């Protein structure tokens, strides 16, 4: 059909940016959290950083399983998912490095990973990931959550590496892990996948994907709060 696009059609061309505008406050809450700002200005409490490090190592192991489940959903999509699978596989390869990096970083800071007990907030986030691994959950919904999880870390840590920040030298490697340009490119590829898929998705799936995005943002805020010693 020719002619002018409706507002809904225009919004669907870049669903993620539409949502980020709509949910700006919570997105900023997740990507400019006081914990991140304290890394950025050099006032970070090292015991908070160590808490984050140990808890995130546990989270990342659940996350690897989640990514595997997204990969399976991509493969089961009948149409052209080969490109999506390559991006996801690249993400998994990076996670392999990441798990090793956590072990190295933990020993550098004297954090005993085998002693870490997952906190309630972390357990709840991991349980949320597990709920998305259910085969009933649509690929479009899972890949939206996946993008959001990666994007929060990318935006947060890239913020600590900007010109004129006071990020402590011994935390810069951590910030580089998620704040580097390659990771930024990877998040951009994921965003394009999501936008391309959602453009053709049903209203019901789009609604579910939006709910998943908001849940991720809430869990990310809670995760930072937990690291700072709050709940």
Ligand X SMILES: Cc1ncc(CNC=O)c(N)n1
Question: Closest Cα to residue 191, out of 219, 152, 137?
Answer: 152
Q: Which is nearer to ligand X, 9 or 97 (CB)?
A: 97
Cβ atoms of 162 and 171 within 8 Å: the answer is no
Active-site choice (98, 105, 155, 220):
220
Cβ neighbours, 10 Å, residue 188: 13
Residue 212, C-beta contacts closer than 8 angstroms, at least 6 positions apart: 132, 141, 142, 144, 145, 148
According to the binding rule CB under 6 A, does residue 147 interact with ligand X?
A: no
Residue number of the CB closest to ligand X reads 153
According to the binding rule CB under 6 A, does residue 223 interact with ligand X?
A: yes
According to the binding rule CB under 6 A, does residue 210 interact with ligand X?
A: no
Active site residue 220: yes
Cβ atoms of 208 and 131 within 8 Å: the answer is no
According to the binding rule CB under 6 A, does residue 88 interact with ligand X?
A: no
Q: Which is nearer to ligand X, 60 or 137 (CB)?
A: 60
Point out which span in 109-117, 135-143, 146-154, 199-207 binds ligand X (CB under 6 A).
146-154
State the minimum distance, in angstroms, from the CB of residue 42 to ligand X.
22
- The residue within the footprint of ligand X, chosen from 150, 155, 210, 222 (CB under 6 A), is 150
Question: Closest Cα to residue 145, out of 191, 97, 186, 83?
Answer: 191
String of contacts with ligand X for each residue 47-86, x by CB under 6 A: ---------x--xx--x-----------------------
The alpha helices in the chain, defined as continuous H runs, are 7-13, 15-22, 24-31, 34-40, 46-76, 82-109, 120-133, 139-159, 169-179, 181-199, 203-227
According to the binding rule CB under 6 A, does residue 149 interact with ligand X?
A: yes
Which residues here bind ligand X, judged by CB under 6 A? 56, 59-60, 63, 98, 149-150, 152-153, 220, 223
Catalytic residues: 220
């Amino acid at each position: 059909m020719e002619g002018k696009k409706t507002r809904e059609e225009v919004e669907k061309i870049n669903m993620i940016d539409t949502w980020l505008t709509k949910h700006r406050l919570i997105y900023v809450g997740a990507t400019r959290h006081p914990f991140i700002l304290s890394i950025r200005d050099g006032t970070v409490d090292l015991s908070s950083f160590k808490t984050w490090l140990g808890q995130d190592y546990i989270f990342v192991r659940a996350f690897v399983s989640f990514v595997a489940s997204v990969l399976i959903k991509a493969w089961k999509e009948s149409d052209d998912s080969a490109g999506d699978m390559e991006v996801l596989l690249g993400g998994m390869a990076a996670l392999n490095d990441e798990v090793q990096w956590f072990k190295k970083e933990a020993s550098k800071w004297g954090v005993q990973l085998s002693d870490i007990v997952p906190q309630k907030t972390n357990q709840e986030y991991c349980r949320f990931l597990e709920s998305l691994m259910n085969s009933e959950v649509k690929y479009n919904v899972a890949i939206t959550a996946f993008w959001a999880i990666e994007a929060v870390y990318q935006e947060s840590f890239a913020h600590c590496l900007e010109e004129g920040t006071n990020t402590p030298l011994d935390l810069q490697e951590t910030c580089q892990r998620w704040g580097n340009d390659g990771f930024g490119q990877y998040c951009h590829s994921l965003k394009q996948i999501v936008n391309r898929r959602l453009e053709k998705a049903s209203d019901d799936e789009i609604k579910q994907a939006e709910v998943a995005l908001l849940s991720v943002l809430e869990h990310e805020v809670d995760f930072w709060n937990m690291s700072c010693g709050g709940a």
